[in-house]
Structure formats: structure tokens, C-alpha cells
Structure 1
Amino acid sequence: MHSPLVIMGVCGAGKTAVGAALAARLGATFKDADNLHPLPNVEKMTAGIPLTDEDRWPWLRLVGAELAAEHPHGIVIACSALKRAYRDAVRAAAPSTRFILLEVDPSVLKERLVQRPGHFMPPALLTSQLETLEPLEGDEEGMTVRSEGGIEALIDQILANLRQVHPAIPAGADQK
């Protein structure tokens, strides 16, 4: 079985779409960490107020607990995980977690956010997220991938990279 996976990045990077597609190809459970946010966090973001670290710690503990829980076929979670400290908090609960950072051109991000009205993360918070993002460091388990070329091509790239460290990734994951 492979390590728990977190698809990370700023709002609009495609975390949910990529995470759900990757989980489907792996036969794993998929969860969106947005659904684990306590109500006060959702209310702040809906009002266009960036979360503080104090707002995030309880949420990150929930994300880590979900990753550490028993998932017989693995788990993929979509989670922003913007700072190293946030990823460390998740790894404190689930040490074998691998992070996959989706990089997207800021102009594409803005376009995507404008096209999804009604989401609690308004486009106005994109700048705050881009400023907060700390790319994966060399000692962190994971990879950075450019989110372009369509979801299936991106999943193929992620799976090829994962197989370098997890040769036992199911062969059926290659089938679309």
C-alpha cells in the first residue's frame, strides 16, 4: 500500500479535481480537507478574511487524523497545506504522508476562481494564498508538478513519479 497522499496548492489549483481523479485511479478513498474546516473558518473565508495560523491548527489536526486513520486502499486528501509548518503538523499525525504540490500560473488561477461562484473561498484571497505558499523543501516527501495539459495527463505524471518510490502502485492505476 502506498503512503497517504495530499494534493496541495493554492485555491483554484485543481486540488479537488486532481485528488478525486488520482484516488479513483488508485482505488483509494478521496476526501477534501475543505469539508473538515470548522464552521468559524468557513465563515471567515466566506467573508473574505484570511485565516490565521490559530484558525488552521485545529483543522490541520483533523486532516492529519484522517490521513492516519485506517484506509485499506489508501487515501488522497485535497488540502492547501501552504506552509511547511502546516505540512509538519499533518505529518505529526501521519508521518508517511507524501505531498504533491500543484503549480499553476497566477492568471490561470484567477480565471478559474472567477468561474466558480458560490465557493466559500473568494478570488480576493488568492493573493494572500500565493504570498503564504512555501514550496516543498528538499527534505519533504513529495513532488511538485505543473498543473497543465489536462487532468489525465497530470495523473499519469504523478503516478509515474510515485512509482519511483512506490513500485507496488497497482498496475490498474494506469488504466483510464
Structure 2
Amino acid sequence: MERVPVDDVDPDPHPVGVNENRRDLTDAVDADHITVTRYELDPGESVSAGLYTYRDREEIFYIAEGVMTFEHHPRDGAGEPNHLNVEANELVRFTAGEYRCGRNTGTKPVVGIVFAARPPLSETERMESLAPCRLCEELTAHRVTDPDDAYRLTCTVCGTEMRLG
């Protein structure tokens, strides 16, 4: 059994600056089969740099304080996005392959925790982002490559690369 005060875990801001108070609690409690990440989002901050999905796992977000707005798309990324407000003391589950991004669109901080299974692949080996491709001239799925100094996104339709960060 591991017991760790959340405030004892150092914040790990998102690599491209979309949030400042993200805490990866997974290693703090020596978890092997689940990831646990706590977010405290100020107004205007988001969980990720844009719409993303994991091809092999679902995620469950628990909102402890405030209201988080999720933009989400079906598995193929087609069509118009849907928006869902998740309030304090509510959960939302996203399936593998469903694109999503949580944002604080309000005026007060949002505190949330995301739980997910921890498969053997690295985060980015199983991650895709939905982004506009300059060559395809539309929103397409992009594979995400581990950042060295920036995330590298590669369009799954035409192979065009772009860098974030």
C-alpha cells in the first residue's frame, strides 16, 4: 500500500504550455497497471494541446471542483465536434479511439483526475491527435512522436509532419 499527499508530488506542466499544474500521481504510488493524473486548470487552460485519442485504452475523468468542458469526436474524427460540460462530482468515460480534449472555459479553477489503464507502450506510441493538415487541407488523424524539444505530429493520410512546442 502506498499513501502520498497529492501536494507532495511536484507539478509537471504540459510540454507545450497548455496547463501549469498537472501532477502525475502514477509513480508516486508505484502503480503498475493504471495511470493517475491530477489536473488543476486555471480559466483558459486545457488537459492537452488539442484533440487526442489512445488507440488501446479508455480514460475516465473525475471532476472534483468546477466545470470542465470536453470537446469530443467519434472514432473516425469525422463530423462536427460535440461538447459536454462535466461538473463537480461527475465522471465521464472516453473509449479507445474517441478523440477528446478537456478545457476550462469558465472563470473558476477546475480540479480533475484522469484514470486510465497502463499498457506496456509509451504514451505517444499509442496516441493520435486530430489536427488540421496543411497538405490535405482538412482535419485528419496524426500520429504523435515523443518530444525531444517539441512534439512531432505526422498525418496518417499523407505523411506530412508538423512540430508543436
TM norm structure 2: 0.25
| TM-score with structure 1 setting the length | 0.24
Higher relative contact order (CA 8 A, sep 6+): 1
